[in-house]
């Protein structure tokens, strides 16, 4: 009985680590999924069944897709050009990497938002030469990016709750 409590404490620490990784725009949801899968193997998929693991994987995929597309959808809301929409995606990725290199942890969040803004602004301005429209597109992209990050964080919390509800505390 003591070993299951120890394993569960390790699981909880791992899940909380995944949540922190998600908070700083690192692949925390993938980490949460990996921890759940490892627990499933340990438990022979008794408590975290194949169906539960599949549901967690589904949540993971939804979170990643929403985060990836949120900035682009923000650009489309302002009727941005395709160039600005695609630039928002690329800018978020590059900005996240640069932000992480400059300021580990929170730099990735700030970098992704600023990168998406700057790239979409530059792309829209280079097409329309309208700085007001380019600014509206950039701000909308940043709002979309922030919303995508929030959705991904909520999904991470949901994944953790689902896993916690299925954990075994005694055998």
Average pLDDT estimate for 145-166: 91
Asked whether residue 19 is domain-assigned, the answer is yes
Which pLDDT score is estimated for 56? 96
Which pLDDT score is estimated for 58? 96
Helix, strand, or coil here: 7?
Answer: helix
Domain coverage including residue 159: 2-166
Most confident segment among 25-29, 108-112, 127-131: 127-131
Whether residue 140 contacts residue 72, with contact meaning beta carbons closer than 8 Å, is answered with no
Structure tokens that stand for 45 in this block: 């998929």
Angle formed by the axes of helices 28-42 and 2-23, to 10°?
Answer: 160
Which pLDDT score is estimated for 129? 92
* pTM attached to this predicted model: 0.78
How far is the C-alpha of 103 from the C-alpha of 44, rounded, in Å?
41
Asked whether residue 171 is domain-assigned, the answer is no
Asked whether residue 74 is domain-assigned, the answer is yes
Asked whether residue 104 is domain-assigned, the answer is yes
How far is the C-alpha of 100 from the C-alpha of 142, rounded, in Å?
18
Rg of the chain on CA atoms, in Å:
19
Total domain count, the chain: 1
Mean pLDDT of the residues in the chain: 87
């Amino acid at each position: 009985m003591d070993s299951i409590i120890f394993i569960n404490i390790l699981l909880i620490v791992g899940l909380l680590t995944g949540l922190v990784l998600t908070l700083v725009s690192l692949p925390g949801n993938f980490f949460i999924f990996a921890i759940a899968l490892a627990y499933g193997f340990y438990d022979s998929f008794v408590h975290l069944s194949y169906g539960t693991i599949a549901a967690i994987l589904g949540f993971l995929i939804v979170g990643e897709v929403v985060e990836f597309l949120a900035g682009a959808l923000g650009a489309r809301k302002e009727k941005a050009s395709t160039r600005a929409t695609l630039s928002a995606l690329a800018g978020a990725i590059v900005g996240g990497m640069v932000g992480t290199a400059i300021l580990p942890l929170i730099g990735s969040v700030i970098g992704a938002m600023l990168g998406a803004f700057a790239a979409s602004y530059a792309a829209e301005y280079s097409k329309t030469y309208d700085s007001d429209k380019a600014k509206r597109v950039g701000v909308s992209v940043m709002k979309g990016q922030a919303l995508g990050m929030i959705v991904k964080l909520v999904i991470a919390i949901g994944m953790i709750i689902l896993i916690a509800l299925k954990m075994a505390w005694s055998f």
